């Protein structure tokens, strides 16, 4: 997109001005924006800043110095602060060590903290998973019946039957 003022350079600045209570928004190149605003621009929000804002735990505990603020993962050396500033988790073990603090963040991202999809074959709590899946399918079945989608409902019914017979056979 070209600068809306000079129409020559690429617009890199989103310029917002409030004039007589009216909000005026323009996309400008840095040069025009500087001339127009006659001010120094705060550099665009860096990805790190954005993530740390997003991944910060609730205000409550970020201001209270928690005793384990210096805890580091013994496997990869990551601290929870490192995660907050990069948005990246270091290893398998970090999820165990920082699990309690990651939980609310993951909940915020996904609205959920219980995995119900595919699991490695060694993980044999598939019973619980099957039960959860049956519950979900039953909900879907109800919705399908309400929406009078009988073909879909029949498919769902068969799937539930199959899962139920499988879990009782275990």
Residues in touch with another protein (CB under 8 A): 55, 75-78, 87-92, 95-96, 99, 102, 105-106, 109-121, 123, 125, 133, 136
Give min distance, CB of 142 to another protein, in A. 15
Give min distance, CB of 168 to another protein, in A. 20
Instruction: Rank residues 114 and 151 by Cβ distance to another protein and give the closer one.
Output: 114
Q: What is the distance between the alpha carbons of residues 124 and 81, in angstroms, rounded to a whole number?
A: 35
Q: What is the distance between the alpha carbons of residues 158 and 148, in angstroms, rounded to a whole number?
A: 17
DSSP string covering 45-113: PPHHHHHHHHH---HHHHHS--GGGG-B-TTT--BHHHHHHH-----HHHHHHSHHHHHHHHHHHHS--
Instruction: Rank residues 35 and 103 by Cβ distance to another protein and give the closer one.
Output: 103
Quickly tell me which residue has 């919705």 as its tokens: 143
Give min distance, CB of 125 to another protein, in A. 6
Instruction: Rank residues 17 and 48 by Cβ distance to another protein and give the closer one.
Output: 48
Instruction: Rank residues 21 and 170 by Cβ distance to another protein and give the closer one.
Output: 170
Quickly tell me which residue has 């409902």 as its tokens: 153
Give min distance, CB of 54 to another protein, in A. 10
């Amino acid at each position: 997109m070209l600068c809306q003022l000079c129409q020559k350079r690429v617009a890199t600045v989103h310029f917002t001005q409030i004039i007589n209570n009216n909000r005026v928004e323009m996309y400008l190149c840095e040069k025009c924006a500087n001339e127009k605003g006659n001010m120094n621009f705060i550099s665009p929000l860096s990805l790190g800043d954005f993530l740390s804002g997003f991944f910060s735990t609730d205000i409550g505990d970020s201001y209270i110095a928690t005793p384990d603020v210096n805890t580091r993962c013994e496997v990869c050396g990551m601290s929870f602060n490192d995660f907050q500033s990069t948005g990246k988790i270091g290893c398998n073990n970090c999820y165990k060590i920082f699990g309690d603090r990651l939980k609310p963040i993951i909940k915020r991202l996904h609205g959920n903290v219980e995995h119900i999809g595919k699991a490695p074959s060694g993980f044999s709590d598939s019973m619980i998973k099957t039960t959860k899946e049956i519950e979900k399918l039953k909900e879907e079945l109800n919705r399908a019946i309400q929406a009078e989608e009988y073909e879909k409902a029949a498919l769902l019914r068969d799937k539930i039957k199959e899962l139920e017979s499988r879990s009782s056979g275990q």
